[in-house]
Amino acid sequence: MTHPIRVVTYNIHKGFSQFNQRMVLHDLRDQLRGIHADIVFLQEVVGAHDLHARQHLNWPVTSQYEFLADSIWQDFAYGKNAVYPEGHHGNAILSRFPIVSWENIDVSAHRFEQRGLLHCELRMPGWDETLHCVCLHFGLFSRGRRMQLSALRDRIEKLVPPHAPLIIAGDFNDWRNEACDTLARQMHLKEAFGVTNGRPACSYPAALPMFRLDRIYVRGLHVTAAEVHSGRPWSKISDHAALSATVHRA
């Protein structure tokens, strides 16, 4: 069996606690470090925000993804999705392994919700193929999510070889579990908590998770463990729980 890889997905709520009560980026960085993840999939990451930078004395001088990566995750990629007068936010991938290529694909269903797929290829030590990673945050409405699922499937079928290892993780906003039909049954991916616990994990709200919104799907990898990071202190950091999984090369 190959060396284990720890993967985390987390909607960080733009670095603010639930209901935007306080800026929590420093606590968030400490908690992420404690998971000892190799690859981190983040949603709602602020790339820049002039107003917040003026209002908060401890606002990082760098982007949120650079601040969170710090010296732990040497490589990172950011997909700018939502742009507004004060700045922008989107998805990010932080990695202990080299990111050899990346692209952000606009999959917005309408002008009121800017969404993207951040697709990276990672060079893994001792592997003869790159690891494909896609970080996503799907829309709130079912019609838009179906369009985004279709765009994701097209992307994978065109650019990811069937035998290549693949991780797709993020906030699917998938209240009705529609993604499983496309990703699991049609594209032959396995959901990490489906492997370990029989179904996707509850991840929202973080204080007492009831809804299965966040997912980690894999192909060409074995899932050996999965964990929900909820309750305190996580519920004081974001409205979503963080999810982690341990995987091995199949």
CB 155 within 8 A of CB 117: yes
CA distance 139 to 118: 15
CA distance 223 to 245: 7
- CATH 3.60.10.10 for domain 5-249: yes
The pLDDT value recorded for residue 210 is 94
The pLDDT value recorded for residue 112 is 81
- Rounded mean pLDDT of 151-167? 96
- Write down the residue that tokens 């299965």 correspond to: 212
- Rounded mean pLDDT of 7-20? 89
pLDDT in tens, 175-206: 888 888 789 888 999 999 999 999 999 999 99
CA distance 100 to 175: 34
Higher pLDDT, 112 or 160: 160
36: left (phi over 0), alpha (psi -120 to 50) or beta: left
- Write down the residue that tokens 């519920």 correspond to: 235
- Provide the sign of the torsion angle of the four alpha carbons 115, 112, 68, 246, taken in this order: negative
pLDDT in tens, 73-88: 999 999 999 999 999 9
- Rounded mean pLDDT of 57-69? 94
Single-letter amino acid code for the residue at 75 = D
pLDDT in tens, 119-155: 999 999 999 999 999 999 999 988 999 999 999 999 9
Comparing 1-5, 32-36, 75-79, 160-164, the range with the smallest average pLDDT is 1-5
Domain limits, the chain = 5-249
pLDDT > 80? residue 110: yes
The pLDDT value recorded for residue 45 is 97
Nearest to 38 by CA among 202, 198, 200, 167: 167
The proportion of the chain whose per-residue pLDDT surpasses 90, expressed as a percent, equals 84
- Provide the sign of the torsion angle of the four alpha carbons 119, 140, 10, 56, taken in this order: positive
The pLDDT value recorded for residue 1 is 54
The pLDDT confidence band at residue 101, using thresholds 50, 70 and 90, is: very high
- Name 75's Cβ contacts closer than 8 Å, sequence gap at least 6: 69, 94, 95, 96, 97, 98, 99, 122
pLDDT > 90? residue 50: yes
Q: 171 φ, ψ to 5°?
A: -95, 105
The chain-wide mean pLDDT, for the chain, equals: 94
Tokens of 221: 């990898």
pLDDT > 70? residue 19: no
CB 58 within 8 A of CB 26: yes
- Name 128's Cβ contacts closer than 8 Å, sequence gap at least 6: none
CA distance 84 to 87: 5
Single-letter amino acid code for the residue at 65 = Y
Between β-strands 214-219 and 99-106, what pairing exists: parallel, antiparallel or unpaired?
unpaired
Nearest to 123 by CA among 137, 134, 133, 136: 133
Tell me the CA distances in angstroms from 170 to 106, 164, 211, one per residue in order. Answer: 16, 20, 14
